[in-house]
Amino acid sequence: MKMVKTYACRDVGVDCDWSASSETEEGLMELIAEHAKNVHPEIELTPELVAKVKAAFKDE
């Protein structure tokens, strides 16, 4: 059985219904960076925010 990591914008308090999943933390971060760039240009992915985002990853 494969584990996937999932993340949703709501997990860090962003008012957005987007979520994503990937088999790796790196892959998931790439999807999040792309989404943030396109949909949340006002949000800057600071090291602090990235840490918060990674802490919100769930294994499913």
If binding is defined by CB under 5 A, does position 31 make contact with Zn ion? no
The nearest distance, CB 1 to Zn ion, in angstroms, is 28
If binding is defined by CB under 5 A, does position 16 make contact with Zn ion? yes
Residue owning tokens 């769930």: 58
Sequence length of the chain is: 60
If binding is defined by CB under 5 A, does position 20 make contact with Zn ion? no
Which of 1/8 has CB closer to Zn ion?
8
DSSP 2-43: ---EEEEGGGGT-S---EEEESSHHHHHHHHHHHHHHH-TTS
Which residues of this chain interact with Zn ion, rule CB under 5 A? 9, 16, 18
